[in-house]
A and B are shown apart, each in its own frame.
Chain A
Amino acid sequence: MANTYIQIASVTVGSGGASTIDFSSIPATYTDLVIKLSARVTGTGTSANIGLKFNNIGTSFSGLYLGGNGSSAVSGSPVTELTIWTATYNDSTANTFGNAEIYIPNYASANYKSVSTDGVAENNATDGRDAFTATLWSNTAAINQITLTPQVGPGDFMQYSTATLYGIKKS
């Protein structure tokens, strides 16, 4: 890991679960942001999607996704908000958690922001799901708040889910 990786904040969900995880007042002193997410979500299914909002705005996202489930590949131009396949549902193998990395370069610039994600809905069985996304947020505001929310259900983050926000400096 680069020595410019600096942990800004980290959250571990408690026994009561959580509907959203929100990082606010993010300092503009870094070059890029990275979120490392480990998540298990209430509900049933093959993979739980997590939605992201920047500055409490869930629109002006456009992008592509590429995914696979071990037997077939899928791709497309999904939605108007940023979605990552990352969480494991509660009917998956016990004690497994999905995980993802969300990379946001130049988050404090006055230009549109690109976002790339790599996520897997781990199941420790034959049916796991993985997907990459490449997304553009067509908004020139500096990102100072990031909100993570399970989309389907709506579900909740379960106990021991974690989200850690890192700042990266170019030098």
Chain B
Amino acid sequence: MTTAIEVNCATGEVTERELTAEELAQREADAAAYAARKAEEDAVAEATAAAKASGQAKLAALGLTPEEIAALSN
């Protein structure tokens, strides 16, 4: 199923062809690079969310109300 659909907008010609070996390799490399970046982004997002929750818990322990914590967070 590794085909490319190409549309030449000047002529209207539509071509469906198999990917070349080079294109297949690039496709795998692009997907791997994307997965690595996505994992990195997810890790940063999780760390940020954990830090936020920890900070809010500490503020609550100090006696701040949820409204006051929300006001500080915005």
A and B from one assembly?
yes
Known: A51-B34, A76-B41, A76-B45. A19 touches B2 (CB 8 A): yes
B5 and A22 within 8 A (CB): yes
The answer, yes or no, to whether A20 is at the interface (CB within 8 Å) is: yes
A27 and B34 within 8 A (CB): no
One digit per residue, 1 when the CB lies within 8 angstroms of any chain B CB and 0 when it does not, for chain A 76-96 equals: 101111010000000000000
A14 and B16 within 8 A (CB): yes
Contacts of A152 in B (CB 8 A): 31, 34-35, 38
Q: Roughly how many angstroms separate A11 CA and B14 CA in the complex, as a whole number?
A: 8
A154 and B41 within 8 A (CB): no
Number of interface residues of A (CB under 8 A): 35
Known: A58-B30, A151-B30. A19 touches B7 (CB 8 A): no
Contact of A151 among B1, B11, B16, B34 (CB under 8 A): B34
A51 and B30 within 8 A (CB): yes
Q: Which of B10, B19, B34, B44 has the most CB of A within 10 A?
A: B34
- Interface residues in B22-56 by Cβ distance below 8 A to A read 27-28, 30-31, 34-35, 37-38, 41, 44-45
9 more A-B residue pairs beyond the given contacts A22-B5, A154-B30, with a C-beta to C-beta distance below 8 A? A9-B12, A18-B1, A20-B19, A20-B27, A22-B6, A23-B7, A79-B34, A79-B37, A165-B9
Interface residues of A (CB under 8 A from B): 8-9, 11, 13-14, 16-27, 42, 49, 51, 58, 74, 76, 78-81, 83, 149, 151-154, 156, 165
Interface CB pairs A-B, < 8 A, 15:
A11-B5, A14-B16, A17-B3, A18-B5, A19-B19, A21-B4, A22-B4, A23-B9, A25-B10, A25-B11, A76-B41, A78-B37, A149-B30, A152-B31, A154-B28
